[in-house]
């Protein structure tokens, strides 16, 4: 394993690289860190040269004076630029989880030839309705306030998240806006794309909010493959934590669709 840091836009981004084989970059999402994704990364290192990193305000990355979609995208761009300077053996497969999937789609749409393919895990979903609505806002606000309070115990560790509940809420609203136009981004990408979606993103609760969110999530996935039929869609019987609970299955999908160059292809 090799560890190094990237300094850009006033923040420090920690990067880890290890394994051998086809280059692969693993981008975490909102409220997740490279430490959280260690099981998936370790599985992939058996046959991939895996690069992981933390977004600003997450894990061992430094805090920032702004947290926005564009700011997080700039973190990914900085990491990819540094890998370009290091000289990878081939363009990497870019794997993104949750918000990381949206960042991956935007990166690929703006950097033709920069990556060999995309694996999008429970994100970058063109859902027909916003995730955050007035009906669920009080519930979400309370949930993110609890999450921010619980994060106090993780301060100073590789799993810390420095964002406030309000910053998390604002980002989720912004992500809704980003996803409303993400199909246009997909249309600009001429790459193998695999999408791994949970069947019950909001969990299996019987309450109306969970049912609506899950229905909306499924509808987004169906819309995506209907409008982009070349995309390989995989569904796992899981909630949004699938990258933690189903790491083995996800690693198998990645190997089957984006394995060693010249062997497995979509």
pLDDT bin (cut points 50, 70, 90) of residue 261 is: low
- Domain residue spans of the chain: 2-256
Q: 3-state DSSP helix/strand/coil percent for the chain, to nearest 5?
A: 40, 20, 40
Better pLDDT: 53 or 262:
53
d(CA 132, CA 135): 8
pLDDT digits (tens, 9 = 90+) for 97-136: 999 999 999 999 999 999 999 999 999 999 999 999 988 8
Q: What is the mean pLDDT of the chain?
A: 94
2-256 classified as CATH 3.40.50.1820: yes
Which of 142-156, 158-172, 209-223, 232-246 is least confident? 142-156
In this prediction, residue 209 carries a pLDDT of: 84
Q: Beta strands of 74-142 (E only): which ranges?
A: 93-97, 117-121
The predicted model gives 149-170 an average pLDDT of 93
262 falls in which pLDDT band (50, 70, 90)?
A: very low
Take residue 29 and report the two structure tokens written for it. Answer: 């999402």
pLDDT above 90: residue 263: no
Structure tokens at 246: 């189903």
Going by the DSSP 8-state scheme, the letter that residue 28 receives in this structure is -
pLDDT at 186 over 50: yes
For range 67-86, the mean pLDDT: 97
Please, what's the b/e burial string for 151-186 (b: 16 or more CB within 10 A of its CB; e: otherwise)? beeeeeeebbbbbebebbbebbebbeebbeebbebb
């Amino acid at each position: 394993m090799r560890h190094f840091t990237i300094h850009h836009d006033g923040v420090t981004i920690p990067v880890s690289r290890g394994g051998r084989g086809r280059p692969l970059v693993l981008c975490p999402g909102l409220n997740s860190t490279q430490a959280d994704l260690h099981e998936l990364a370790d599985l992939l290192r058996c046959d991939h040269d895996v690069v992981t990193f933390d977004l600003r305000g997450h894990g061992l990355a430094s805090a920032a004076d702004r947290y926005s979609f564009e700011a997080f995208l700039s973190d990914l761009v900085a990491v990819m630029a540094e890998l370009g300077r290091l000289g990878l053996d081939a363009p990497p497969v870019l794997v993104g989880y949750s918000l990381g999937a949206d960042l991956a789609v935007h990166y690929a749409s703006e950097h033709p030839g920069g990556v060999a393919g995309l694996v999008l895990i429970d994100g970058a979903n063109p859902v027909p309705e916003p995730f955050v609505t007035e009906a669920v806002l009080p519930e979400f606000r309370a949930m993110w306030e609890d999450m921010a309070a619980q994060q106090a115990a993780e301060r100073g560790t590789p799993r810390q998240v420095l964002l406030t509940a309000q910053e998390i809420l604002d980002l989720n609203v912004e992500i809704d806006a980003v996803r409303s136009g993400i199909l246009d981004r997909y249309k600009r990408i001429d790459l193998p794309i695999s999408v791994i979606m949970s069947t019950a993103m909001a969990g299996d609760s019987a309450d109306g909010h969970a049912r609506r969110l899950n229905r909306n999530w499924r509808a987004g996935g169906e819309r995506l493959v209907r409008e982009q039929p070349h995309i390989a869609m995989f569904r796992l019987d899981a909630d949004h934590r699938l990258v933690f609970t189903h790491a083995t299955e996800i690693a198998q999908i990645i190997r089957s669709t984006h394995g060693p160059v010249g062997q497995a292809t979509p």
